[in-house]
C-alpha cells in the first residue's frame, strides 16, 4: 500500500508452481502463487505447505510478512519453510540466498533477513519451499473452563507436556456468544479451547487425547469433548478463521482496531487476563482470542475513528497491551506485521537492534525506494 505515491507491483501473473520434488519434500514457486493452489498441487504427492494465515495469501506476501496461523504451534511459521530465495535488489541486481539442502552453516542467514522484511529490502521473484507430509489422522477437541485464567493456564501446561497439538485456540465467552448467534454453533458460552491433534494412527491419537483430557482436568477443565465429527470440525475451524469478519459484520458501521501481540507461553495467562480486564474497565466493545499455543493474542475492538474520544481509548488499550507484551519478553506483532501501525513500537521492542535494522535497510536500499514508510518511522 503506497503511503506517498510510487509504483505498485502486481505479481498476479507470476503464479506458477515451477517444480515439486516429492523426494526432497520441496517446491520451487513464483511469488504470486496462492497458498491454496500450492497445497492443491502438493496434495497430489501427499504433501502440504503448512503456514496458514487464514486468507488465501500469495507466497510472496507470506514470505514478506513471515505469515503464520492456527497450525504454527506444531508446524512453525513461513520462515521455517523457506530454503532459498531469488531476490531482485533495488538497483536491479538479481541474487539468490540460501540453498536447497536441508541444513547449512554457511555464512549469514540472508534468507531469514528477507523473510518478514515487508518488501523493504527487495522483491522476491522465486522461492524454494520445504513441504511436509499431510497427516493421515486428525482429532479435534473442545475443552471448556469456568474461568479464563484456568483456560490460559491449561494452554501452557499442554504445551509444556510435549503433547504437540496441531492447533490450540483460546476463545472467550463473548466471542463464543457472537459465533453462536452469527454462525449457529450452539457452543456453551464459557472460556473454551479448540484443539486439534495430528498423528500417524487413530490409536496414537486416542492416547494423546486421553492425556490431554487428564491434563486439562487437572487445570480446572469442566468438559472435554473429543472425536468431534468431521462436519462439526470443519464448521468450528471455519468459524474461527472467519472470526474477524464475523465481528465486523455484527457491528456494522464501526471500524475495527486489532491488537496482535505474542508472549512466551508461560506469560500467556497474565497477558490474557490483563487484556480482557482492560477492555472491560474501559467499557469498550472488544473480543479477546488467539493462537494460544504460540502465545499469540488478539483483541478485536470496535469503534468509530471519527469519534476522537472513543478511538483514542481503543488506541490507548492497544498501546498498553503492546507495552505489557514487550515487558513480558514478547513482541508488538505476532503475525500481522509492522507496516505503518506498529512502527512506533519498534524501538521499544528492539532497542539498538532497531538501529541495525535501519542500517541494513540503508545499505541495501540507499535511496529508500522499497516500500517506503513501512517498518521504520
Ligand X SMILES: Cc1cc2nc3c(=O)[nH]c(=O)nc-3n(C[C@H](O)[C@H](O)[C@H](O)COP(=O)(O)OP(=O)(O)OC[C@H]3O[C@@H](n4cnc5c(N)ncnc54)[C@H](O)[C@@H]3O)c2cc1C
Q: By CB under 6 A, name the binding residues for ligand X.
A: 11, 31, 53-55, 57-58, 60-62, 64-65, 67-69, 118-119, 123-124, 244, 335-337, 371
Q: Helices (DSSP H) in 251-368: which residue ranges?
A: 268-281, 308-327, 346-350, 352-364
Query: Which position has the grid cell 521473484?
Result: 125
Q: How far is the CB of 3 from ligand X (least distance, A)?
A: 11
User: What's the alpha-carbon Rg for the chain, to the nearest Å?
Assistant: 21
Select 26 or 65, whichever has its Cβ closest to ligand X.
65
Select 175 or 215, whichever has its Cβ closest to ligand X.
175
Q: How far is the CB of 210 from ligand X (least distance, A)?
A: 31
Select 50 or 53, whichever has its Cβ closest to ligand X.
53
Q: How far is the CB of 69 from ligand X (least distance, A)?
A: 5
Q: What is the rounded distance in angstroms from the CA atom of residue 279 to the CA atom of residue 292?
A: 19
Q: How far is the CB of 308 from ligand X (least distance, A)?
A: 24
Select 121 or 190, whichever has its Cβ closest to ligand X.
121
Select 55 or 211, whichever has its Cβ closest to ligand X.
55
CA angle (198 as vertex; 173, 85 as ends), nearest 5: 100
Select 213 or 343, whichever has its Cβ closest to ligand X.
343
Q: How far is the CB of 46 from ligand X (least distance, A)?
A: 25
Sheet holding 167-171, edge to edge: 221-226, 137-145, 192-199, 167-171, 286-290, 296-303, 255-262
User: What are the grid coordinates assigned to 180, written together?
Assistant: 453462536
Select 335 or 365, whichever has its Cβ closest to ligand X.
335
Q: Helices (DSSP H) in the chain: which residue ranges?
A: 35-43, 59-65, 72-75, 110-114, 148-160, 173-183, 202-218, 230-241, 243-250, 268-281, 308-327, 346-350, 352-364
Q: How far is the CB of 305 from ligand X (least distance, A)?
A: 16
Select 45 or 248, whichever has its Cβ closest to ligand X.
248
Select 216 or 335, whichever has its Cβ closest to ligand X.
335
Residue whose Cβ sits closest to ligand X: 61
Nearest to 169 by CA among 79, 70, 272: 70
Select 10 or 230, whichever has its Cβ closest to ligand X.
10
Q: How far is the CB of 126 from ligand X (least distance, A)?
A: 9
Print burial letters for 89-116: b (CB count within 10 Å at least 16), e (below 16): ebeeeeeebbeeeeeeeeeeeebebbbb
Q: How far is the CB of 31 from ligand X (least distance, A)?
A: 3
Task: Tell me the residue ranges of DSSP E strands in 36-107.
Answer: 47-48, 82-88, 94-98
Q: 310 and 303 in contact (C-beta within 8 Å)?
A: yes
Q: How far is the CB of 147 from ligand X (least distance, A)?
A: 26
Q: 281 and 213 in contact (C-beta within 8 Å)?
A: no
User: What are the grid coordinates assigned to 254, written together?
Assistant: 464501526
Q: What is the rounded distance in angstroms from the CA atom of residue 158 to the CA atom of residue 160?
A: 5
User: For residue 249, how far is the Cα from the chain centroid?
Assistant: 22
Q: How far is the CB of 363 from ligand X (least distance, A)?
A: 17
Amino acid at each position: 500500500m503506497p503511503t506517498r505515491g510510487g509504483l505498485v507491483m502486481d505479481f498476479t501473473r507470476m503464479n506458477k508452481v515451477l517444480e515439486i520434488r516429492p523426494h526432497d519434500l520441496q517446491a520451487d514457486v513464483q511469488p504470486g502463487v496462492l497458498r491454496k493452489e500450492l497445497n492443491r498441487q502438493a496434495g497430489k504427492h501427499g504433501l502440504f505447505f503448512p503456514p496458514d494465515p487464514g486468507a488465501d495469501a500469495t507466497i510472496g506476501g507470506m514470505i514478506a510478512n513471515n505469515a503464520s496461523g492456527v497450525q504454527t504451534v506444531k508446524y512453525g511459521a513461513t520462515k521455517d519453510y523457506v530454503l532459498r530465495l531469488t531476490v531482485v535488489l533495488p538497483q536491479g541486481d538479481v541474487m539468490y540466498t540460501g540453498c536447497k539442502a536441508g541444513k547449512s552453516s554457511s555464512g549469514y542467514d540472508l534468507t531469514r533477513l528477507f523473510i518478514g522484511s515487508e518488501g523493504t529490502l527487495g522483491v522476491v521473484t522465486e522461492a524454494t519451499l520445504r513441504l511436509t507430509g499431510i497427516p493421515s489422522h486428525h482429532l479435534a477437541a473442545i475443552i471448556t473452563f469456568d474461568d479464563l485464567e484456568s483456560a490460559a493456564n491449561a494452554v501452557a501446561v499442554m504445551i509444556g507436556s510435549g503433547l504437540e497439538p496441531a492447533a490450540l485456540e483460546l476463545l472467550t465467552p463473548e466471542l463464543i456468544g457472537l459465533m453462536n448467534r452469527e454462525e449457529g454453533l450452539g457452543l456453551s458460552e464459557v472460556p473454551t479451547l479448540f484443539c486439534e491433534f495430528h498423528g500417524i494412527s487413530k490409536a496414537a491419537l486416542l492416547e494423546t487425547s486421553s492425556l490431554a483430557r487428564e491434563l486439562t482436568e487437572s487445570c480446572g477443565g469442566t468438559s472435554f469433548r473429543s472425536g468431534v465429527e468431521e462436519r462439526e470440525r470443519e464448521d468450528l475451524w471455519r468459524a474461527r478463521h472467519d472470526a474477524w469478519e464475523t465481528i465486523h459484520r455484527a457491528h456494522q458501521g464501526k471500524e475495527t482496531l486489532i491488537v496482535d501481540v505474542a508472549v512466551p507461553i508461560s506469560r500467556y495467562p497474565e497477558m490474557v487476563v490483563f487484556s480482557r480486564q482492560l477492555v472491560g474497565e474501559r467499557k469498550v466493545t472488544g473480543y479477546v482470542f488467539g493462537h494460544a499455543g504460540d502465545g499469540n493474542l488478539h483483541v478485536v475492538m470496535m469503534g468509530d475513528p471519527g469519534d476522537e474520544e472513543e478511538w483514542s481509548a481503543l488506541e490507548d488499550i492497544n498501546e498498553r497491551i503492546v507495552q505489557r507484551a514487550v515487558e513480558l519478553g514478547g513482541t508488538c506483532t505476532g503475525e500481522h506485521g509492522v507496516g505503518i501501525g506498529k512502527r512506533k513500537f519498534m524501538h521499544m521492542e528492539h532497542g539498538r537492534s532497531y538501529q541495525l535494522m535501519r542500517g541494513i535497510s540503508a545499505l541495501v536500499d540507499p535511496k529508500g525506494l522499497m516500500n517506503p514508510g513501512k517498518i521504520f518511522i
